[in-house]
Amino acid sequence: MIHLYQNNGYNIVLDVNSGSVHVVDELAYDVIGFLEKDNPLHAVESLRDEGTKAKLFAAFEDGYTLTNPKGSPAPQGHELRNALGYTREDVCDVLEAVIELTKEGRLFARDVYEDFIDVVKQRKTVVKALCLHIAHDCNLACKYCFAEEGEYHGRRALMSFEVGRKALDFLIANSGSRRNLEVDFFGGEPLMNWQVVKDLVAYGREQEKLHDKHFRFTLTTNGVLLDEEVQEFVNKEMDNVVLSLDGRKEVNDRMRPFRNGKGSYDLIVPKFQRLAESRGQQKYYIRGTFTRQNLDFAKDVMHFVDLGFKQISIEPVVGEDSDPYAIRECDLPDIFREYDVLAKTMVERERAGKGFTFFHFMIDLEGGPCVSKRLSGCGSGTEYLAVTPWGDLYPCHQFVGQEEFLMGNVDAGITKPEIADEFRSCSVYSKEKCRNCFAKFYCSGGCMANSYKFHQTIHDTYDVSCEMERKRVECAIMIKAALAEA
């Protein structure tokens, strides 16, 4: 399975099953496209077949291109020379290169993973990450909040140290030989329960020595209560910190007001700037949400850059179709254009030595995750669980408050292992829509909470999100192609 696309002047061939990325000229782009359709075996033997070469010559003499696959009237007798000046020799060169890459397993690679999926899905998993809902309360009233201003379809509550301690004990006890354990302090707004955060970090540091574990603590905050004392502690103890802000003042303040309706931008921005700087512009994300009310979100990304931030994430909102801010299918062309603008800008900035990171364009073509990770998805419900302020366990933060997903609690542990089993069984091979998607090994089947929200099953996909994910993968690879140029 291959995916061919053109972006920012680059012709790109992604070989889906090997993960190989080829940047090709126009002729190779057309030849590979032709072979994908007209040589369905894609085996070295069939590529070497004289008949394949003859078909290629005939097609290209007939003016074949991917955009004009039936061919235009034959140019200048039988001399193969298209507008770009390619010859039969060029076609043979491309075919030889294609055969070599196919032999090496870098082009037309077969899907060997479906046979492997049972091994992955039946493996024993351990819990390695917890999302601690330290506070089901918030000092902002963001209009798109999936947590309903921190309350998660329930009551306002703060996690006690006792519940948090049991959660860390549960994590250690269920983590097997896994050494690195992740704990995110989440909310609502976790700084509204700051003393418990600090006490839990201290407890975790004690316990990690006793059990030969290493806690990686992270914090997701809106910054309202961020002060010097918090900053110092965060810099000492938090592996990563996610700072919530949406971008330009008018964009941020429209969606992220205080409960009295006043905007939060002016209070928060200087605090986040200081924190990012004090961390050496590393190990944090300034993280925003874009909605259909700011489809020109590349401007918000660049606003963050202008404010001095280097680690940036801006994500599409997830909302009901009836929500005025929700992304709709008709918004996709605008969103795609915006991702293209952003990707081109990032290439220019990087070349000028002023690069920055955009989370959704991060892609590691050499050292990315192994197949096992790509097949097993995000780990929700198995390796990753959310803990409510009163100690209930859910598959992830987005399922909190949906009683059918209540899996257990920090006292009794997992009491409904069948829920974990269902999440474990979910993969790109259990979702029909993923089978022929070129991006399946990059999103691993997408967010199960979003699938459930829109289709009432975790074995489906949130289609608008899939479209955006495919576009982001294309942009991310284009950036790699552009920066690989001398």
Partner 1 sequence: MKHIKTLNTQTLNNTVKKGGCGECQTSCQSACKTSCTVGNQTCEQKK
Q: Which residues from 142-171 bind partner 1, rule CB under 8 A?
A: 146
Token duo for residue 463: 């289609």
Report d(CA 122, CA 279) in Å as an integer: 41
Q: Is 444 in the site for partner 1 (CB under 8 A)?
A: yes
- Least Å distance, CB 340 to partner 1, is 19
Among 398, 406, 408, 474, binds partner 1 (CB under 8 A): 398
Token duo for residue 437: 């998607």
Q: Is 3 in the site for partner 1 (CB under 8 A)?
A: no
Count of residues of this chain found to bind partner 1 when the rule CB under 8 A is applied: 92
- Least Å distance, CB 476 to partner 1, is 8
Strands 413-414 and 408-409: antiparallel
Report d(CA 471, CA 486) in Å as an integer: 25
Q: Is 50 in the site for partner 1 (CB under 8 A)?
A: no
Cβ–Cβ < 8 Å for 157, 332: no
Cβ–Cβ < 8 Å for 290, 314: yes
Residues 174-193 within binding reach of partner 1 (CB under 8 A) = 178-180, 182, 184, 186
Nearest to partner 1 of 39, 218 (CB atom):
218
Report d(CA 121, CA 422) in Å as an integer: 10
Taking each continuous run of H as one helix and of E as one strand, the counts in the chain are 17, 16
- Least Å distance, CB 46 to partner 1, is 19
Q: Is 345 in the site for partner 1 (CB under 8 A)?
A: no
Q: Which residues contact 469 (CB under 8 A, 6 or more apart)?
A: 439, 442, 443, 446
- Least Å distance, CB 87 to partner 1, is 11
Q: Which residues contact 80 (CB under 8 A, 6 or more apart)?
A: 57, 60, 61, 86, 87, 88, 91
Report d(CA 442, CA 374) in Å as an integer: 7
Among 45, 50, 320, 364, binds partner 1 (CB under 8 A): 364
Give the other-Cβ count within 10 Å of 38's Cβ: 13
Q: What residues does 358 pair with on adjacent strands?
A: 312
- Least Å distance, CB 92 to partner 1, is 11
Report d(CA 5, CA 3) in Å as an integer: 7
- Least Å distance, CB 288 to partner 1, is 11
Site of tokens 């598959």:
395
Nearest to partner 1 of 94, 347 (CB atom):
94
- Least Å distance, CB 396 to partner 1, is 6
Among 112, 202, 267, 412, binds partner 1 (CB under 8 A): 112
Residue type for position 18: S
Report d(CA 400, CA 159) in Å as an integer: 14
DSSP at 359: G
Nearest to partner 1 of 164, 445 (CB atom):
445
Residues 275-334 within binding reach of partner 1 (CB under 8 A) = 285, 287, 289, 313, 315-318
Nearest to partner 1 of 266, 432 (CB atom):
432
Nearest to partner 1 of 180, 266 (CB atom):
180
3-state helix, strand, coil in the chain (%, to 5): 45, 15, 40
Residues 73-92 within binding reach of partner 1 (CB under 8 A) = 90
Of 51-59, 161-169, 216-224, 264-272, the segment contacting partner 1 by CB under 8 A is 216-224
Nearest to partner 1 of 36, 469 (CB atom):
469
Nearest to partner 1 of 271, 287 (CB atom):
287
The CA angle 22-26-30, to the nearest 5 degrees, is 85
Nearest to partner 1 of 7, 229 (CB atom):
7
Among 45, 50, 212, 366, binds partner 1 (CB under 8 A): 366
Residues 91-110 within binding reach of partner 1 (CB under 8 A) = 93-94, 97-98, 101, 105-106, 109
Token duo for residue 398: 């987005």
Nearest to partner 1 of 47, 242 (CB atom):
242
Residue of 317, 135, 289, 359 lying closest to 225 (CA atoms): 135
Residues 125-144 within binding reach of partner 1 (CB under 8 A) = 125-126, 128-129, 131
Q: Is 339 in the site for partner 1 (CB under 8 A)?
A: no
Query: 4 — phi, psi (to 5°)?
Result: -105, 135
Among 120, 134, 226, 305, binds partner 1 (CB under 8 A): 120
Nearest to partner 1 of 261, 434 (CB atom):
434
Report d(CA 112, CA 61) in Å as an integer: 36
Q: Is 481 in the site for partner 1 (CB under 8 A)?
A: yes
- Least Å distance, CB 361 to partner 1, is 8
- Least Å distance, CB 262 to partner 1, is 25
Q: What residues does 11 pair with on adjacent strands?
A: 6, 24
- Least Å distance, CB 73 to partner 1, is 26
Report d(CA 4, CA 395) in Å as an integer: 36
